[in-house]
Structure 1
Amino acid sequence: MTIMRLLLHRHRLMIGAWLLLLLTLLGGTVWAYQDTYLTPEQRDAAVALARADTATTLLYGELPLPGTPAQMYAWEIGGITTILVSVFAVLLAVALTRAAEDDGTLELIRSCGVDPRNPLRAAVAVLAGVAAALTIGGSVVIGAWAGGVDGVTWLGATMLAAALGLTFLLVSVVTVTLAQLASTAPTARLLGLAIVVAAFGLRAVADVRDAGALNWLSPLALRASIRPFTDDRWWVLGVYLAVAAVLAWLAAVLCGRREYGAGLITRSGIRDVRLPVRSALGLRLRLARRSTMIWTAGVAGLGALFTAMGSGVVEQSRDGDVGGFLGAQLDTTDPVVGYCAYTATLLGMVVSAYAILQVLHHRQDETAGRTGLIVAGGVRRWALLLAQVTAAVAGSAIILVIAAVTGAAIASVTIGGDSTALRMFTYIAGQWPATAVMAASAALLAGIWPRATGLAWLPLLAAGTLALLGPLLNVPQQIRDLGPFQQVADPVTVNADWSGPAVLLLIAATMTACGLAGINRRDLLAG
Structure 2
Amino acid sequence: MTTARLLLHRHRMMIGSWLLLLLTLLGGTVWAYQDTYPTAGQRDAAVELARADTATTLLYGELPLPGTPAQMYAWEIGGITTILVSVFAVLLGVALTRAAEDDGTLELIRSCGVDRRNPLRAAIAVIACVATALAVGTAAVTGTWVGDVDGITGLGVAAFGAALGLTFLLVGVLTVVLAQLTSTAPTARLLGLTAVAAGFGLRAVADVRDIGALNWLSPLGLRATVQPFTANRWWVLGIYLAAAVTLAWVAGLLYERREYGAGLITRSEIRDVRLPVRSALGLRMRLARRSTLIWAAGVAGLGALFTAMGSGVVEQSRDGDVGGFLGTQLGGTDPVAAYCAYTATLLAMVVSAYSILQVLRHREDETAGRTALIVAGGVRRWAPLLAQVATAVAGSAVILAAAGAAGAAIASVTIGGDSPAVRMFTFVTGQWPATAVMAAGAALLAGIWPRAAGLAWLPLVAAGTLALLGPLLNIPQRIRDLGPFQQVSDPVAATAEWTGPAVLLLIAVTATACGLAGINRRDLLAG
- TM band (smaller chain): over 0.9
Matched, 1:238 2:235: no
Q: Distance in 2 between matches of 1:463 and 1:393?
A: 18
SS at match of 1:268: coil
What is the CA–CA distance in structure 2 between the aligned matches of 1:322 and 1:415, rounded to whole Å? 16
Quick one: distance in 1 between partners of 2:117 and 2:349? 38
Aligned to 2:216: 216
Q: Partner residue of 2:173?
A: 173
Which residue number corresponds to residue 287 of structure 1? 287
Q: After TM superposition, give the deviation of residue 468 of structure 1 in Å.
A: 0.4
- Distance in 1 of aligned mates of 2:3 and 2:327: 50
Q: How many Å separate the matches in 1 of 2:437 and 2:513? A: 12
> Closer, same or farther in 2 for the Cα pair 1:54/1:321, shift >3 Å?
closer
Q: Per-residue CA shift, 1:235-275, capped at 9, x if unaligned?
A: 10000000000000000011000000000111111222111
- d(CA) in 2 for partners of 1:24 and 1:323? 23
TM-score, normalized by length of structure 1?
0.99
> What corresponds to 2:99 in structure 1?
99
SS of the aligned residue for 2:22 comes to: helix
Q: Kindly state the Cα deviation for residue 520 of structure 1 after the two structures are TM-superposed.
A: 0.2
Structure 1 unaligned segments of length 5 or more: list them: none
Amino acid across the alignment from 1:88? F
What CA distance in whole angstroms lies between the structure 1 residues aligned with 2:22 and 2:3? 26
SS state of the match for residue 132, structure 1?
helix
1:250 corresponds to 2:279: no
Structure 1 residue 162: Cα displacement: 0.6
Deviation for aligned residue 1:362: 0.4
What residue is the counterpart of 1:324 in the other structure? 324
* 1:115-150 CA distance string (max 9 Å, x none): 101110010000000000001111111011000000
CA drift of 1:323 comes to 3.6
SS at match of 1:381: coil
Q: Does the aligned pair in 2 maintain the 1:466–1:480 contact within 8 Å? A: yes
1:321 CA displacement: 4.4
Q: Name the aligned partner's letter for residue 415 of structure 1.
A: I
One-letter amino acid of the counterpart of residue 211, structure 1: I
Q: CA–CA distance in 2 between the matches of 1:426 and 1:41?
A: 39
Q: CA deviation at 1:38?
A: 2.8
- Aligned-residue offset at 1:64: 0.4
SS in 2 for 1:272: coil
Q: Secondary structure of the residue that 2:382 maps to in structure 1?
A: helix
User: Contact 2:280–2:383 (CA<8 Å) still a contact in 1?
Assistant: yes
Q: CA deviation at 1:326?
A: 2.6
2:225 is the counterpart of 1:225? yes
What is the Cα deviation at residue 112 of structure 1? Answer: 1.3
The residue type equivalent to 1:120 in the other structure is L
Q: What residue in structure 1 maps to residue 86 of structure 2?
A: 86
State how far apart, in whole Å, the 1-side matches of 2:322 and 2:39 are.
13
1:390 offset after TM fit, Å?
0.4
Structure 2 CA distance, aligned partners of 1:291 and 1:323?
Answer: 38
Give the letter for the 1:106 counterpart. Answer: L
1:495 partnered with 2:491: no
Is the 8 Å Cα contact of residues 36 and 325 (structure 1) preserved in structure 2?
no
- AA matched with 2:282: G
Q: Is the 8 A contact 1:42 1:323 kept in 2?
A: no
Q: Whole-Å Cα distance in 2 between the matches of residues 185 and 327 of structure 1?
A: 40
Q: Using the alignment, how far apart are the partners of 2:321 and 2:177 within structure 1?
A: 48
What's 1:516 paired with?
516
TM (normalized to structure 2)?
A: 0.99
Contact persistence 2:124–2:248 (CA under 8 A): yes
1:302 counterpart residue number: 302
Q: Distance in 2 between matches of 1:201 and 1:269?
A: 33
Which residue number in structure 2 is paired with residue 189 of structure 1? 189
How many correspondences in the alignment?
527
* 8 A Cα contact 1:215 1:222, kept in partner: yes
Partners of 1:263 and 1:290 in 2: how far apart?
Answer: 19
1:521 Cα offset (Å): 0.3
- Report the counterpart of residue 420 of structure 1 in structure 2: 420
Tell me which residue corresponds to 1:131.
Answer: 131
1:448 matched to which residue of 2? 448
Structure 2: which amino acid aligns with 1:209? Answer: R
| Offset of residue 90 of structure 1 | 0.3
- Whichever residue aligns with residue 375 of structure 2, its letter is V
8 Å Cα contact 2:46/2:321 also seen in 1? no
| Distance of 2:212 and 2:57 partners within structure 1 | 13
Measure, in 2, the Cα distance between the counterparts of 1:2 and 1:338.
52
Mapped to 2, the partners of 1:418 and 1:115 lie a distance apart of 66
Quote the residue 1:146 is aligned against. Answer: 146
- Return the alpha-carbon distance in structure 2 between the equivalents of residues 104 and 325 of structure 1: 45
Deviation sequence 1:476-523 (CA, Å, 0-9, x none) = 000000000000000011111110000000000000000000000000
Q: Deviations over 1:418-449 (max 9, x none)?
A: 21111001000000000000000000000000
Distance 2:71 2:453 in 1: 36
Return the letter of the residue paired with 1:313.
Answer: V
Distance 1:203 1:181 in 2: 25
Q: Report the AA paired with residue 231 of structure 1.
A: A
Amino acid corresponding to residue 328 of structure 2 in structure 1 = A
Q: Is the 8 A contact 1:442 1:456 kept in 2?
A: yes
Paired residue for 2:383?
Answer: 383
What is the 5 A alignment of 1:293-372?
Answer: 293-372=293-372
The alignment yields a C-alpha RMSD, in angstroms, of 0.8
Secondary structure of the residue that 1:401 maps to in structure 2? helix
Task: Name the aligned partner's letter for residue 343 of structure 1.
Answer: T
Deviations 1:27-52 (A, max 9, x none): 11111111011322221111111111
Match in the other structure for 2:5 = 5
Amino-acid identity (%): 82
Letter in structure 1 aligned against 2:472: L
Question: C-alpha distance in 2, partners of 1:208/1:415?
Answer: 21
- Give the whole-Å Cα distance in 2 for the aligned partners of 1:460 and 1:134: 20
Whole-Å Cα distance in 2 between the matches of residues 514 and 502 of structure 1? Answer: 19
Distance in 1 (CA, whole Å) between partners of 2:148 and 2:190 is: 42
Matched, 1:57 2:57: yes
Name the CA distance, whole Å, in 2 between partners of 1:92 and 1:224.
Answer: 24
Tell me the residue number matched to 2:71. Answer: 71
| C-alpha distance in structure 2 between counterparts of 1:272 and 1:395, whole Å | 27
Question: Following the alignment from structure 2 to structure 1, what is the Cα–Cα distance between the partners of residues 173 and 323?
Answer: 40
Per-residue Cα deviation, 1:361-395 (whole angstroms, up to 9, x for no partner) = 10000000000000000001111111110000000
Q: For 1:193, give the aligned amino acid.
A: L
CA contact (8 A) 2:49 2:321 kept: no
